[in-house]
Amino acid sequence: MPHAFVLRRRVHFYETDAAGIVHFSTFFRYMEEAEHALWRENGLSIFPAAVTHGWPRVAASFDYKRPLRFEDEFEVHLRVEQVTTRSLRYACRVECRGEVVADGGMTIVCVERAADHTLRAVPIPEPIAALFRPPVA
């Protein structure tokens, strides 16, 4: 039952600006890519074929320490920091050559879609919550 995941990757050219530096918004995609890998590692999909719940993002942030450049090999370290009744909070660290590139986080909320397409926050199904609860120290 992993509650953490490390994604190893290389910067692609299309992720960079004219100076060859990764655009700040791309870090959110890296975090989401690691999130989806974490869910797969736990035998789940964040968007399964039989969708019963949605997982919108309600908060996301990054603090940038140094740039990532075209062709850099890097790691995205994602861990579940908190599980509440209706939400999951991730902590994310991006590292390149042993140096911290950025620290961030994201909060997602479990929702159901009503017939009128409105979303309503609901408790996370216990089998999912149990997979992601961080170990008690």
Catalytic (active-site) positions:
17
Question: Which 8-state DSSP code applies to residue 59?
Answer: E
As given in the structure block, the two tokens for residue 44 are 């789940």
Residues 110, 121 contacting (CB under 8 angstroms): yes
Residues 109, 121 contacting (CB under 8 angstroms): yes
How far apart CA 118 and CA 112 sit, in angstroms, is 8
- Nearest 5°: the CA angle 65, 20, 104 is 30
